[in-house]
């Protein structure tokens, strides 16, 4: 079955152009022209990826992202006509996986969509191949990763992780003890053609530490290896 993409864009011409090109790539496509319609469509259509414009009527893209992130973990690519860092950072903090600044080429757009869907397929394949079929959880000390529900628990208490934070934590845990460079983490967790740069890794590591290292008297779980990258020692 072909993967499903939800396109949320209030500009009719662009919305139809994106939908047409995605359809040509073999994806099932649903569209929405405002924020509330986007939420309704996402709940009904259950897409594998969402393309979300930032400036929308009724509810803006930030609010749509915030609502949907509480309900689903699919990749969200934000479209924005503004190239201000505050917009990008806020979008990432709310759970967006990537952003594209208008105007953009259709080749770049399709490449980003394919990269995120490919990354999700690879993550699912790695989980299936690395974890015994009878196991749905990874336990390391007081940390538990529930792979089916994509949830992390610390001392049996659920951690409020964004989808990308869970992906990052899972990647660090399954490579426990190994030094991972920022570039390698970026490639494996975000995708080889992600344009956010290694600072994205540092920001997400900081967010993870705030959630899994809340006890200042406990040793660090994620070790910074100066000049190299990070190592998980939970």
Mean pLDDT of the chain: 85
Is residue 28 domain-shared with residue 93, that is, in the same domain? yes
pLDDT of residue 189: 85
Is residue 113 domain-shared with residue 158, that is, in the same domain? no
pLDDT of residue 6: 98
Q: Is the pTM of this model over 0.75?
A: no
Q: Is position 59 within any domain?
A: yes
We report the CATH number of the domain holding residue 32 as: 3.40.50.2300
Q: Is position 93 within any domain?
A: yes
Is residue 204 domain-shared with residue 101, that is, in the same domain? no
Instruction: From 78, 100, 121, give the residue that closes a domain.
Output: 121
Instruction: From 65, 94, 121, give the residue that closes a domain.
Output: 121
**pLDDT tens profile 181-227:** 888 888 888 875 555 567 788 889 998 998 888 776 677 889 998 87
What's the chain look like in SS3?
Answer: CCCEEEEECCCHHHHHHHHHHHHHCCCEEEEECCHHHHHHHHHHHCCCEEEEECCCCCCCHHHHHHHHHCCCCCCEEEEECCCCHHHHHHHHHCCCCEEEECCCCHHHHHHHHHHHHHHHHHHHHHHHHHCCCCCCEEEECCEEEECCCCEEEECCEEECCCHHHHHHHHHHHHCCCCCEEHHHHHHHHHCCCCCCCCHHHHHHHHHHHHHHCCCCCCCCCEEEECCCEEEECC
We report the CATH number of the domain holding residue 205 as: 1.10.10.10
pLDDT of residue 184: 85
Residue 161 belongs to what domain range? 131-232
Q: Is position 181 within any domain?
A: yes
**pLDDT tens profile 24-57:** 999 999 999 999 999 999 999 999 999 999 999 9
């Amino acid at each position: 079955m072909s993967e499903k993409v939800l396109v949320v864009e209030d500009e009719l011409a662009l919305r139809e152009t994106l939908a047409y090109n995605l359809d040509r790539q073999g994806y099932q496509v649903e569209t929405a022209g405002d924020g509330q319609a986007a939420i309704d469509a996402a709940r009904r259509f259950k897409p594998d990826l969402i393309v979300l414009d930032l400036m929308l009527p009724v509810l803006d893209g930030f609010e749509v992202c915030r609502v949907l992130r509480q309900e689903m973990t699919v990749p969200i690519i934000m479209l924005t006509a503004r190239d201000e860092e505050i917009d990008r950072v806020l979008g990432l903090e709310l759970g967006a996986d990537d952003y594209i600044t208008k105007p953009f080429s259709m080749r770049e757009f399709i490449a980003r969509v394919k990269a995120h869907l490919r990354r999700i397929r690879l993550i699912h394949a790695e989980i299936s191949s690395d974890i015994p079929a009878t196991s749905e959880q990874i336990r390391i000390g007081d940390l538990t990763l529930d792979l089916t529900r994509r949830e992390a628990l610390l001392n049996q208490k659920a951690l409020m992780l964004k989808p990308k934070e869970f992906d990052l934590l899972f990647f660090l845990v399954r490579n426990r003890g190994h030094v991972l460079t920022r570039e390698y983490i970026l490639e494996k967790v975000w995708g080889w053609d992600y344009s956010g740069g290694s600072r994205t890794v540092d920001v997400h590591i900081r967010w993870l530490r705030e959630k899994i290292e809340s006890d200042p008297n406990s040793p660090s779980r994620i070790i910074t290896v100066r000049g190299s990258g990070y190592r998980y020692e939970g």
